[in-house]
Amino acid sequence: MLSGVKLCCVIAGFSALVPLFVNKLTCVIVDDQQHCVDDLSQQLHRHVHRLELIGYANGYTDAVNIIRTRKPDLVFLDVELGGKTGFDVLQALPKPHPIVVFVSAMAHYSLKAIKVNAADYLLKPVSDTELEDLIVRISQEKQARTNREATELMASLNIDAGFLPDRIAIRQTDSLKLIYYTDLVFVEADSNYSRFHTTGKDRITASMTLKDVEETLQSDRFLRCHKSYLVNREFVDGVAGGTQPQLVLRNGIKIPIARRRVKEVTQRLSQH
């Protein structure tokens, strides 16, 4: 099972190392007070570009069950859970454990948290600044770790240039998603992320800018018609004029063309 976020870019048809697309960190909140769950959920919502909240639990049994079944990357774990503690939850889980951040109103458990290798110990009420710094740090640490694992995988497979020249690899939570160029309709920018739209109507979000996607694809079949769109010209049905020129795709979707790119796009399409 591949857990890396970098893979040799021969997956897209050439030989340098580039980031492999990666989904957000998944997380679970464990707290016996629902208002604390709600407060932290609202804070985490401000970081949806890095992190996805996939569930919560209010007690020991539910916490063990949700962590076992959902397998989150990160758990925000309260210390006191009725008659049990967050440390009891960890003892009940198989290793390796997810990344754990203890969240408590009491500071005196912090030393014990260090002994169980917690990533951090946050005091309630949680500071927005501390939370943001924590999420950025954990994301970067996970990326660095999985980069090393992917590089080791590449070496063990002895992958060379030209491997998988007709598809692109996108990291999923527990797997590697391969999208054939023939199935990739267009890619849409979303800040520092990109959304891949396929013939199956799937929308796959990847942690990569559209510029990096364009450089990774390195295929004449894709047109950069706009700062926010990269289109597979195999799916272009025509061009609509007017005040806002647009590419009309076979499925009826219309993609804007930046005015400065109109000439280049029409020339590329005429060479199709």
DSSP states of 211-252? HHHHHHH--TTEEEEETTEEEEGGGEEEEE-SSS-EEEETTS
Residue at which a domain ends, from 90, 116, 141: 141
Give the whole-angstrom CA distance, residue 218 versus residue 14. Answer: 8
Residues 130 and 215 in one domain: no
Give the whole-angstrom CA distance, residue 100 versus residue 27. Answer: 10
Count: domains in the chain: 2
Residue at which a domain ends, from 141, 164, 196: 141
Residues 136 and 224 in one domain: no
| 8 assigned to some structural domain | no
Q: pLDDT tens string for the chain (272 positions)? A: 333 333 333 333 332 333 444 557 899 999 999 999 999 999 999 998 889 999 999 999 999 999 999 999 999 999 999 899 999 999 999 999 999 999 999 999 999 999 999 999 999 999 999 999 999 999 888 877 766 666 566 555 544 433 456 778 776 555 567 788 999 999 999 888 889 999 987 788 887 889 888 888 877 889 999 999 999 999 999 998 878 899 999 999 999 999 999 999 988 888 75
| 158 assigned to some structural domain | no
Residue at which a domain ends, from 123, 141, 159: 141
Range of the domain at 50: 25-141
Determine the length of the chain.
272
Alpha carbon distance, N-terminus to C-terminus of the chain: 39
Residues 179 and 125 in one domain: no
Q: What is the CATH number of the domain that holds 230?
A: 2.40.50.1020
Query: What single-letter amino acid sits at 267?
Result: Q
| 165 assigned to some structural domain | no
Residues 131 and 226 in one domain: no
Give the whole-angstrom CA distance, residue 27 versus residue 56. Answer: 9
Give the whole-angstrom CA distance, residue 79 versus residue 109. Answer: 8
